[in-house]
Chains A and B, each alone.
Chain A
Amino acid sequence: KAGVTQTPRYLIKTRGQQVTLSCSPISGHRSVSWYQQTPGQGLQFLFEYFSETQRNKGNFPGRFSGRQFSNSRSEMNVSTLELGDSALYLCASSLVPGGYNEQFFGPGTRLTVL
């Protein structure tokens, strides 16, 4: 089975721009979660989607949004980029959300905001 894939792997943007990141979960997995990883803040939960519905949301401003499609693929969007948005954005999938199901992570998208 193919793992979680994320595109693009690297991205450079300037302040004020917007960006869309894509995640394809493992085949059969219906839950997708997004995390932001930075050296200072560690791994922070952004949001979780299941059956095209957002089930959980972390403490991020409204500039961060996401969606899930009927094939379980997910996208996240960051509008009006700030320097502090520079981070590794990780996507993780699981069969269903919650419970004892472990999440499987993609390689991440490295976003640099100049």
Chain B
Amino acid sequence: AQSVAQPEDQVNVAEGNPLTVKCTYSVSGNPYLFWYVQYPNRGLQFLLKYITGDNLVKGSYGFEAEFNKSQTSFHLKKPSALVSDSALYFCAVRDTGGTSYGKLTFGQGTILTVHP
């Protein structure tokens, strides 16, 4: 079975500082990994994804994520945080093996708060 863990319920960072939102995963095959962001009273917006190849993936709004196979992690990063980045962030995984083909499993979400 596939699973995703976001170990921090909340991350606080000052505007202008780098931010990291952590994600670890478990799959039986190879993973496809995704990050989404959710603003209040809105649906989820796609940020970026890892399929294969370069371990550093660049996405929307200046976000990037680093895939680490040995640590089964896919942490979301941004070099300089903005107050407008404050939102709920979800990591998701899709297993290429096992019996859950196609199914996207989400982590519990991390609330990011960027202070002015």
Q: In the complex, what residue of chain B is closest to A91 when comparing beta carbons?
A: B43
The size of the chain B interface, using a CB distance under 8 A, is: 23
* Bound CA–CA A13/B1 (angstroms): 35
Chain B binder among A14-22, A68-76, A78-86, A104-112: A104-112
Among B32, B43, B49, B103, the residue within 8 A (CB) of A48 is: B103
Mark B46-87 against chain A: 1 for CB-CB distance below 8 A, else 0. Answer: 100101000000000000000000000000000000000000
Cβ contacts A to B, 11 pairs, < 8 Å: A42-B108, A45-B106, A55-B102, A56-B103, A90-B43, A90-B44, A100-B49, A100-B51, A103-B46, A105-B44, A107-B41
Interface residues of A (CB under 8 A from B): 4, 33, 35, 42-43, 45, 48, 55-56, 58, 90, 92, 97-100, 102-108
